[in-house]
């Protein structure tokens, strides 16, 4: 039987496959065209930029920080010095050459090989795969960098970069005002990153004005780009340079002449001195002793130097003007007298008998003059700094709540908002504060202590300066500040100047302020500081204080205070406030009023420290007759 074969189905199947394959080829071709269009036309600029980036070698040009000047705008306190840093990328050094490369680099840098090794990963396997850049030396001179460049073929993984060094021309007591700079740490980078302009290689202010105004002092980095081939070889001799912009210059309110005067007047005594203009809050001098030299942080061992200072005796990095707190002692009687006059709860002319002792709550409270002052009214009590008088009026006429209210009226217990990175608010105690903080009930003895500036009341020297400024100003406190102006570093053009800001304005009657001013003048002419503050050049008003602190028996344990202003008979615009605090750790000599007199003499007679001392017989006598080990308490 004959069978015929049917090819029709097979033919259809082959035609279908051919059609599908043809369509697939067309689709692929269309996709290829679309992709080619995107690359050549639509994304042309994008890929052109990518190619430019890949074929460009870019180096950052660091910007120099702005400079810092005293109030004259001509005395430069901080400048920038050209310097380089040398980096090592351990992963770029062949393992077999590591020791040789490090040894050669150490010879160029003039350091020991181990000094470089300790800054790199210790494990050789980790080093071989670590392409991070490690800074191994700073403050490298140009000559050394030139030698390294000439021998770069023998130093794989070694590079250098410009890293300007901060050169502090004025150190001493200015260290606490200006502060210092250092490499940004991780925590600082996280906080500053969103502000823009900060990288992980940024240099930032760590303390003082350097930190407070870091964003103004920071410049804008530049860059240098060159075209290179795939192997990184430069193929273009003409670089594209974006020049860096130096940061703005800072002009301080500090008067360098007055700063030197206050520094020498305080001398090598642990303590603080501040000179303030009550009419606008300008700080003319801010001295804290001991101090330090910020230039030590330019070394490779900056961290080690920091730890030494941090653990040093008497805390040289502590700015005692704004960060240390002390009992205000009898300077607080200025506030007590203001409260009495304002409240009219007790006649300032009524006399109180001081026998040198007050018994209260089965406890004897002794006046600083053990034999007593006799009968005194308020003016005489302020002049003689009679404790019994102020214990009596504090307990019977004012009470703790009113005392605390007036203390806060003068800015105690609150931040003074001075333009520094940190400051203490101090403490104004109340029964509620003691219950909350110490879980103890307020006692009558606490009120007595508070009435003479002892006990839990704590303030900074700047608080006391503001207290005296409020008296001189007739009820106004201006925000104390160190910034005077910000200027463009390129052309010295004024960018901004500080406008005085009222921190607090009191409703106390002007008649009260006038009486307090007269009473503080009487303190100087007829009171406890009459001898140390004798001055023929200027009339001074103020109040002394001697703060008792815990210490071994028969040893020095009193802080010496002097808070004053002058000229008493001049408009407030011409007046300055001076506050000096000498800590109890010094050999007791009641030096604060003598130091204040030197400062006033130097300011208003336009004299140096040496000339001022020579012009003040009482100061010369004090310096000549004071003997080591002699102790006495004087209010």
**Confidence bin at 143 (pLDDT 50/70/90):** confident
Closest CA to 344 of 397, 382, 384: 397
Cβ-count burial of 153 within 10 angstroms (0-12 exposed, 13-18 middle, 19+ buried)? exposed
**Is the pLDDT reported for residue 15 higher than 80?**
no
Which range among 8-12, 80-84, 238-242 shows the weakest confidence by mean pLDDT? 8-12
Q: Where are the alpha helices (DSSP H) in 548-608?
A: 592-604
Residue 563 near residue 593 (C-beta atoms within 8 A): no
Phi first, then psi: what are they for 537, rounded to 5°? -90, -35
What radius of gyration do the chain's Cα atoms show? Answer: 36
Per-residue pLDDT of 515-563, as tens digits, reads 999 999 999 999 999 999 999 999 999 999 999 887 655 555 789 999 9
What pLDDT is recorded for position 1?
Answer: 44
* H or E element, residue 525: helix 510-526
Q: Which of 15-29, 171-185, 186-200, 614-628 has the highest mean pLDDT?
A: 171-185
Q: Where are the alpha helices (DSSP H) in 290-443?
A: 302-311, 333-343, 378-384, 387-393, 400-409, 431-438
Residues 199-223: what's their mean pLDDT? Answer: 91
Q: Which of 91-105, 480-494, 583-597 has the highest mean pLDDT?
A: 480-494
What pLDDT is recorded for position 225?
Answer: 73
Q: Which domains does the chain have, with CATH numbers?
A: 60-81+167-252 (3.90.1310.10), 83-163 (3.90.1310.10), 256-292+315-485+497-625 (3.40.710.10)
Of the CA atoms within 13 Å of residue 583, those in its CB half-sphere come to 20
Residues 112-124: what's their mean pLDDT? Answer: 89
Coil, helix or strand for 558?
Answer: strand
What beta strand segments (E) does 32-185 contain?
A: 56-61, 68-69, 76-81, 84-88, 134-140, 158-162, 165-168, 181-183
Q: Where are the alpha helices (DSSP H) in 272-368?
A: 302-311, 333-343
DSSP state of 512: H
Per-residue pLDDT of 43-91, as tens digits, reads 666 555 555 544 555 667 778 899 999 999 999 999 998 888 899 989 8
DSSP state of 66: P
Residue 275 near residue 283 (C-beta atoms within 8 A): yes
**Is the pLDDT reported for residue 135 higher than 80?**
yes
Per-residue pLDDT of 341-363, as tens digits, reads 999 989 999 999 999 999 888 88
Phi first, then psi: what are they for 458, rounded to 5°? -135, 135
Percent of the chain with pLDDT over 90: 64
Partners of 161 in the beta sheet? 85
Interatomic CA distance for residues 389 and 317, integer angstroms: 40
Residues 204-218: what's their mean pLDDT? Answer: 96
Place of tokens 């009191």: 506
Instruction: Tell me the DSSP string of 202-225.
Output: -EEE-SHHHHHTHHHH--B-EEEE
Coil, helix or strand for 349?
Answer: coil
**Confidence bin at 231 (pLDDT 50/70/90):** very low
Percent of the chain with pLDDT over 70: 88
**Is the pLDDT reported for residue 634 higher than 50?**
no
Closest CA to 604 of 552, 635, 556, 568: 568
Closest CA to 82 of 146, 136, 135, 138: 138
Q: Where are the alpha helices (DSSP H) in 132-171?
A: 142-150
**Is the pLDDT reported for residue 415 higher than 90?**
yes
What pLDDT is recorded for position 62?
Answer: 78
Per-residue pLDDT of 466-513, as tens digits, reads 999 999 999 999 999 999 999 999 999 999 999 999 999 999 999 999
């Amino acid at each position: 039987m004959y069978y015929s074969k049917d090819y029709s189905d097979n033919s259809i199947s082959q035609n279908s496959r051919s059609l599908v394959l043809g369509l697939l080829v067309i689709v692929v071709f269309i996709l290829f065209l679309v992709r080619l269009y995107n690359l050549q036309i639509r994304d042309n600029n994008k890929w052109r930029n990518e190619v430019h980036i890949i074929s460009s070698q870019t180096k950052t040009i660091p910007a120099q920080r702005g400079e810092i000047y005293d109030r004259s705008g001509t005395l430069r306190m901080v400048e920038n010095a050209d310097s380089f840093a040398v980096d090592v990328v351990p992963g770029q050094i062949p393992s077999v050459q590591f020791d040789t490369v490090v040894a050669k680099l150490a010879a160029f840098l003039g350091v020991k090989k181990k000094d470089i090794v300790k800054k790199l990963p210790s494990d050789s396997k980790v080093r071989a795969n670590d392409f991070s850049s490690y800074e191994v030396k700073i403050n490298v001179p140009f000559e050394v960098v030139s030698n390294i460049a000439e021998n770069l073929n023998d130093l794989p993984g070694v590079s250098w970069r410009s890293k300007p060094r901060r050169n502090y021309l004025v150190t001493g007591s200015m260290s606490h005002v200006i502060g210092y700079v250092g490499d940004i740490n991780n925590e600082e980078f996280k906080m500053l990153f969103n502000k823009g302009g900060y990288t992980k290689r940024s240099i930032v202010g760590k303390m003082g004005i350097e930190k407070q105004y870091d964003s103004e002092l920071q410049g804008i980095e530049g860059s240098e780009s060159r075209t290179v081939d795939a192997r990184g070889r430069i193929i273009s001799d003409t670089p594209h340079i974006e020049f860096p912009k130096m940061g703005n210059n800072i002009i301080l309110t500090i008067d360098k002449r007055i700063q030197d005067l206050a520094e020498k007047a305080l001398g090598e005594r642990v303590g603080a001195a501040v000179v303030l203009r009550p009419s606008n809050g300008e700080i003319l001098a801010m001295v804290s002793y001991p101090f330090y030299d910020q230039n030590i942080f330019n070394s490779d061992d900056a961290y080690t130097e920091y730890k030494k200072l941090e653990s040093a005796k008497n805390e040289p990095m502590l700015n005692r003007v704004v960060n240390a707190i002390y009992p205000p002692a009898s300077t607080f009687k200025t506030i007590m007298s203001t409260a009495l006059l304002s409240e009219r709860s007790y006649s300032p002319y009524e006399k109180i008998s001081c026998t040198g002792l007050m018994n209260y709550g089965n406890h004897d409270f002794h006046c600083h003059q053990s034999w007593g002052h006799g009968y005194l009214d308020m003016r005489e009590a302020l002049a003689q700094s009679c404790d019994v008088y102020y214990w009596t009026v504090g307990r019977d006429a004012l009470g703790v709540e009113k005392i605390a209210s007036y203390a806060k009226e003068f800015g105690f217990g609150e931040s003074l908002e001075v333009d520094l990175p940190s400051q203490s608010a101090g403490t104004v105690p109340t029964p509620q504060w003691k219950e909350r903080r110490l879980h103890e009930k307020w006692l009558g003895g606490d009120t007595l202590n508070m009435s003479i500036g002892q006990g839990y009341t704590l303030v900074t020297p700047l608080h006391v300066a503001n207290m005296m400024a409020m008296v001189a100003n007739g009820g106004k406190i201006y925000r104390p500040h160190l910034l005077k102006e910000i200027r463009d570093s390129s052309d010295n053009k004024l960018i901004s100047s500080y406008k005085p800001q009222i921190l607090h304005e009191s409703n106390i009657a002007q008649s009260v302020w006038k009486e307090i001013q007269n009473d503080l003048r009487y303190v100087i002419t007829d009171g406890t500081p009459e001898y140390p503050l004798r001055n023929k050049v200027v009339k001074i008003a103020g109040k002394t204080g001697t703060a008792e602190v815990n210490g071994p028996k028969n040893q020095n344990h009193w802080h010496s205070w002097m808070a004053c202003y002058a000229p008493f008979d001049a408009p407030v615009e011409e007046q300055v406030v001076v506050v000096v605090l000498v800590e109890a750790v010094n050999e007791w000599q009641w030096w604060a009023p003598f130091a204040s007199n030197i400062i006033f003499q130097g300011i208003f007679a336009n004299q140096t420290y040496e000339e001022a001392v020579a012009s003040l017989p009482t100061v010369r006598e004090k310096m000549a007759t004071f003997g080591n080990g002699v102790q006495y308490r004087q209010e």
